[in-house]
Each structure stands twice: as structure tokens, then as C-alpha cells.
Amino acid sequence: MRKLILSFFLILTCTVQAQKLKNENGNLDFLKGTTEMNVIFKYDNLRLMKENYTEEEYIKLHKSNLNEKDKGLGEIWIHQWNNAKTQVWEPKFLLLLNKYSNKKITYQLNDFNAKYTMIVDVVWLYPGWDAFLMKQPAKVTTKIQIVDTNDMLNVLYEVESIEAPGNQFGSNFNNETRLGEGFAKTAKTLTKKINKYL
């Protein structure tokens, strides 16, 4: 029985969920010779969980659930959640963009001197869970556009990254860092695609 449980655990943790890039419009030929790109993030359209909560609804519900378990825990979590965007998700995304760019393009936040801007519209998040022997990876869905920095309405390329998995080896009990791995996976897949056109 013990071997059966161990085998089940290994299968569960080793299953790789492939990320899907879908609904691609345009091509990336215009990036030839580009050496820098501005990156900005949007959370205006963000929904969470299978119920598609707004961020406000999710925060209220999750805070309440945590405070029921342990008074004050919800307030601690809100601090983590509010910092996750600028201290975990966006840095993870940028780190992997630059790591896999083969030094051809440097990606920077809010670099409006760059000719092109990548807009990362975060549209859906599922934080997953980790309960020692069983876990569910986080999932991150984004709509990514590359636009002319001087004319942000001029969309040159767009694609959707569907349910990028936020999974790690070992245990990770923090929702925000699991989601960060989903942002990292998105960036890695996207950069490898961009590299083909440079």
C-alpha cells in the first residue's frame, strides 16, 4: 500500500502541464534588430478562481476564510497579496524574459524610450494548493500585446497564454509564489517564440 501511495504521489508531481499560446494575431517580423522593449502590466480585467471572482471579491472572501482559521491571518495575507504583483509576479516574468532572450532584447519595466511596448494583461489566476502529498499547481492566463510605444492603440502582435502552470519541485505553501512560477513559465515560453524572429 505504501508503494502504491508513493507511486501515485510521483505521478501526480511529475505530470507536466503544457502551456498553450492561443489566438495569435500578427507576426513578430517587425522585431528584427530590436534591442530593447518596454514592459507594462495590467490587472483591470483580472478574475480569480473557477468562480471568476473579481480581485475585490477574492480578497474579501480569502481574508475572511483565513481569519476564521486564525484571527489576524487575513490581514497578514493581504499585505503579501498587495506586494505580490511588484515583488514576485512582475520580477519573475522579467527575469525569465531576460534570461531566455539570448541577450538580443533587454526587457525593462516602464522604459518608454523603447520603440515597442509589451502589455501583459493578467486576465485569470488560480493559486492552486499544496497539501504535502497532494498538490494542484497555480494557473496564470494572460493576454499579451506588443504595441508601438508612441501609439499604444497600434497593436502589432497579440497572443493569449492559457493557464501557464505554476509548479515547482518540492512543496510550496505560498499562493503568491506559486502564481509567480506561472508568470515565469509564461515569460519563458513567450521569449523562446520571440527569439525565432530575431
Q: Which stretches of the chain are DSSP H helices?
A: 2-14, 55-69, 73-84, 90-99, 175-195
Residue 175 domain flag? yes
Handedness of CA 97, 161, 48, 116 (dihedral sign): positive
Decide if 94 contacts 185 (C-beta within 8 A). Answer: no
Per-residue pLDDT reduced to its tens digit, 5-56:
434 443 444 344 456 789 999 999 999 999 999 999 999 999 999 999 999 9
Task: Categorize the per-residue pLDDT at 109 as very low, low, confident or very high, splitting at 50, 70 and 90.
Answer: very high
Write down the pLDDT at residue 13: 40
> How many whole angstroms separate alpha carbon 84 and alpha carbon 185?
16
Three-class secondary structure assignment of 105-162 = CEEEECCCCCCEEEEEEEEEEECCEEECCEEECEEEEEEEEEEECCEEEEEEEEEEEE
Residue 144 domain flag? yes
Write down the pLDDT at residue 172: 55
State the residue range of the domain holding 88: 21-195
Residue 122 domain flag? yes
Write down the pLDDT at residue 104: 87
Residue 66 domain flag? yes
> How many whole angstroms separate alpha carbon 135 and alpha carbon 166?
11
Residue 62 domain flag? yes
Per-residue pLDDT reduced to its tens digit, 133-190:
677 889 999 999 999 999 999 999 999 999 999 876 555 568 899 999 999 999 999 9
Cell of 82: 498587495
> How many whole angstroms separate alpha carbon 28 and alpha carbon 198?
8
What is the CATH number for 57? 3.40.50
Considering its fold, how many domains does the chain have in total? 1
Write down the pLDDT at residue 174: 80
Does residue 90 surpass a pLDDT of 60?
A: yes
Write down the pLDDT at residue 31: 96
Residue 140 domain flag? yes
Residue 1 domain flag? no
Write down the pLDDT at residue 7: 41
Residue 6 domain flag? no
Write down the pLDDT at residue 173: 63
